[in-house]
Structures are given as C-alpha cells and as structure tokens.
Structure 1
Amino acid sequence: MRMRSVLATATAALAAATCLSAAGPSYANAPQHHACSPYVSIDRFSDALDKTTYQGTFVGNFSALAVDVPHSRLRSNGGTPIGSLAAVSDRSALFSLDAETLAPRGVVPLADEKGAALDSEGLVVDHDGTRLISSEGEPAVRRYSEDGRILDRLPVPDALRVAPAGRAVSNGTFEGLTWFRGGLLASMEYALSGDSAGIVRFQTWDRHKGGFELSAQYGYRADTGLGVPEVTALPDGRLLVLERGFTSGVGNTVRLYLADPRRATDTSAIENLTGQDGVRLIKKTLLADIADCPDLGATAKQPQPNPLLDNIEAMTVTGHTGGRLNVLLASDDNQNSVQTTRFYHLRVRTTV
C-alpha cells in the first residue's frame, strides 16, 4: 500500500530456500545475532538498492518478496546452485533479485486485463514458475507468467471488494499473500465497514486441478491503529504476520506476530465481526516490536522511534539456521525522498 503505506509446495520451497545467502559486500557491517526480543534477532540490514534504477525502472516501492525456487542457477566457478528472489513493486513492476547480493537481475511490467497499472501488493511463486500477485485496488489475485502475461484470475467474495461494490476501504484490501494448507491465503489490511475496528479478514482458497476455489475465511485482530501489510505461512499451519502503522512526526510502528488460525472460526458466512459474538479469532503472540531491535548504525530521513525503522511491508522466509527461521523483510519507500528502501535480515524462533 502507498502509505506515508500446495502445503507440499510451501514446505519444499522453505527447504530449498535454505541454500539462499544474502551476505555480500553491500551490507551494513554489523555484528551478528543482535537481539530484538527473546524470539527475534537482527543480523544486518542493507540500503544498497535505495533510490537506484534498473533498465530504466525505479528499484523500490517493494510490497512483497518470495523465494523463487524454480529459478536456481549455477555459479560459473563451481556449479553451486544459488536461488533467486522475486520482488513486486506496487508501481506495477516484478523484479528478480540475486539472492546473494540482492542486485536486480530482471524486471517485467505488470498490468490488469485492460493494460492498466496495478497496485500490486502480495506475491507467491508457484512450483512451475508462475506468479500469483494480489492487487488491492479491486481487490484481485491474478496468475501471471514469468514474462508478465495474465493467465487467470481467482474469485473474490463480494464483501471484500472496495466500496461501493463491497465493504472494503480504498487502499485497505489484499496486502499479504501466501501459500496456506495446499492453497492460498490473502490478508486484508484493514477492517471492513460493519466489522469492529482492527478486526481484519484473512481469505483462503483451496487448490484443485481446475484452479483455486474460495474456502474458509478468518478474523484477525490487529493492534490499535495498525494494519496488516504482509503474512507468511509456516509448514505447521501457523502464520508470521506483520502489523504496521505510521504517525506523522513520530514514524513507523512495525510488529512481528506468530499467529495460529488452526482453531479459528470460519467467518465467511458472518456478515459483521464485532469481537463479542462468540467468534474465535486467530490467536496471536508477539514475537518482536522492530523498534526494540538495535539500530546497527542505521540512519533515518524522517523522525522514527528507531532509525532502523521504515515503511516495512514485504516479508519472506529464506531458510533456517540453528533452529531459527531466516526471515527477510523489505520496506516500501514510496519513491519518497524521506523514506528508504531497506532490507532486514532477521532470525526468528517460533517455539513460544
């Protein structure tokens, strides 16, 4: 969002991602394993892509990241496979990034069925290399080929559409997208009209041979004043959820939660979520407030509770080390001079 904003496949992707390394000369020279909380530490950050261009396209506005498992390549000096990362910009660009250096290696434009630009927000890479991308303008989830051609479009419940077609607020729909129980899950950023403030809906789809069909929906309560910009599923059915907000003159709030939807109520047939209607919302546990991380020498171009912070919006799991997940975050700089395109390398423990 432009702020001032198959389970087997997912498990295989997570396992394959363990080969990814983001170490390289472009990263901030910071000691390892700095604790943000008992569950999260930050290894390093990188501003190397801030305010750069690639093949005439601005590199930034990043709203989603995904491990691009199908696109492994070989080192010329020894044949060691290296993965790559896919990154989507909310200004209608799909990037391929080198997993070792994060340097762009390709970019393709994105558009809707009429050729209009997208507010692209969520990204999943399928096992065949196709990309599933959510757009919050309608909202929509579309399947694209690697070269940016639309292959098909998933159904969306009417209530989740932007008013007056539905009950969603503009710039508050499908921000996150992830594999989930063999299908997909998309997270709304903000509550629907008629739902209690802070309760956002997570929509799922089941996968069948003919495509994706609408499935269960769940309610999730975000912290006061925050929305949900990203969600990433874990193989055990739990979710990593980012919550984020911005206050002028103060800066960003970004929190990482572990969420468990396994006993949550299916809310797809419930018109209004009040929080007092016996509906079991997704249970969540705070893993870390990113403001509590050491700043590692980072600087901010506008007021922030911690100069490390910016408009963090993208997240993916790239592997695991020593019993912790390697989680990569990225900020959306909105092509704004007082914001930064920044990548954050976290280690996350999910035994809570």
Structure 2
Amino acid sequence: MRTLILGGTKFLGRVLAEEALRRGHNVTTFNRGTSGDDVLGVDAVRGDRTSENDLAALAARGPWDAVVDTSGMTTPMVEGSTRALADAVDRYVFVSTVNVYEGWPTDPLDDESSVREYTPVGPAGESDADEYGRLKAGSEQAVRTTYGEQATLLRPSVILGPHEYVGRIPWWLSRIQAGGRVLAPGRPEWPIQPIDVRDVAAFALDTAERNLAGSYNLAAPIGHSTFGAFLGACRDVTGADAELVWVDDVFLREHGVPEWVGLPLWRDYQGTWHMETTRARAAGLTCRPLEETVADTYAWLRGGAVVSSERSAELGITREREAELLAAWGTREEAAS
C-alpha cells in the first residue's frame, strides 16, 4: 500500500510512519524538516503545506492509496491540501480532535454529539481551545467536501505515549521521581481515558487499509483507568518513595490552580473523561493498559529524549507552589478534624 503522511517526524506522525513501514507500506512523508529527524525508510519530501507550488510538486509524486493528515491545524491549510491532492490520493484520513464537539469538555460525548459550527472568524473572547475546535471542525468540513465517502475523520481525546511533545506524562514522571509529598489532584478513583499514540496510529492505518469512511471517536474505554492508577504507575516505574497527597478539586480551584495545565490531565468536568467510542470499537479499536503507556514513556525518556515545546513550558506548578498548597491543605484538614 502506498501511504502519504502529512507530518511524519513528531509524535503521532512519527509513530504512524514507523507502524506503516512495519506493515510493509511504501511511505512518503511531507513536512518542512524542522520538527525532527525522518524515520529511516520513508521517502521524505520537503515542503510547506501552505504553499500551492509545494503542494502541486507533492501531488505530482503520487498517486497514493491514502493520506493521513496529522498536521492540518487550520481550515485554509486543510482546504489547500485536499484540493491539491484530490487526484493523487484515494482516501483522506484526517486527524481531528475531540475539541470539535460543542459539549467538550463539560458534557459526556458519543458518536452523534453536536459538532461546532465553522466560521472564518471566531466570536469575541473566543478561547484558544474553542478556536482550535472551530478550525478543526472547518477542516473536517473541507475534507468531506472534497472527498465525500472517501473521507475518514478521527477525533482523538488525549493522546499519550513515547515521543509526546506536550509533556504530560513526562511532567508527572519527573515530579514523582523526585520523591517526597506529591500533590495529587482530586480523587484517586476519578476515571480517565487517555489513549496511547500507538493505538491511534494503528487504528488510523486500519481505516486506510480497510477503506473505512465516517467519523470515529478515539479514546480508551470509559472506566479504562483512574487518576490514582496513573500516578501509581508513575511511582512504580520510577521506583520513587513519593507520597501521594490527594487534594480536593474545589480547594485547588479556590487557590487558583489552572485546570489541565497546572497539574497535567487534572480536570473534573464530567465530560472530560466520558467519551463513548462505540463506532471505533466496532471497527476494531483496541487500547493497551495505561500502565504500559507510562512504562514505555519512561523508557523513552531514559533513552535520552528531551521534551521541549511551547506547550510543555506551560505545564505544571513549581515545587514552592506545591509546598504552599500542601501546607494550606493540611491546615484546612486539621481545622476540619
């Protein structure tokens, strides 16, 4: 099978390229060559996907059975690539996001949940997350317009695993490995359902190989794991003597801890970790244990990997801030007892 990957050097794109090669695909990647090394064995094509000339030159190298688009971040960008590749690619697999849903992260979601309406200009005061979801919704619309029944839309929730550039698991591994009293947010039994990057890559290629159309929610099953099991796995793989101190959600919000980024993956909206994946599971989606994802991420980091990006720089709280919060929590607990 001839497969084109838009991206191919970073996180999901890289894992996709590796898995496609493992399956015997003839793999072409298209990127600017600024985000990482090429996977050995791919036909690496350099270019800017916002350039009509570069896209035309890429299309001339086809045809391909499928393209997997991991780097389409804005609607105009995806519109350009769908038009340029219309005659060079049979199926267009677009990696979208759970953010396209109107109800995320507050409401439980399923395959039929309402998707945001795309407008070229967002409303005043639009958040970065809402803008991201709106532009991805517009991108989905562009793929469907050009490819129709040959369009496949993947809507992953939180993706974790080796090569993660955001740094969510790496932040927790680093903090827990340092030991001592660790502020653990919320409740240990709080269910979470992040999905391993390798499971996303495998399903994306399955849809391409089997010519599956439509949209698919991608997440681990509801109840797959808990925040307590996640932090416990971080402690197990690092061998640290960390003591997890579970601190109430309301207390953390009252003290100004930013959800999602202050303590990575912490957000207690019901909908954040309540995404039904019925259609994807019926099509063959399988998800490995979160403990395996944690262990393999730790092994990747120990191999010398460095997580560095604008998003990773925003993650976490300082040890000083953590100590202040734990002290305030202890005082509150003593007063209540």
Q: Does the TM-score normalized on the shorter chain lie above 0.5?
A: no
TM-score scaled to structure 2, two decimals? 0.28
The structure having more radius of gyration, on CA atoms, is 2
Larger proportion of strand: 1
**Which structure has the highest helix share of the two?**
2
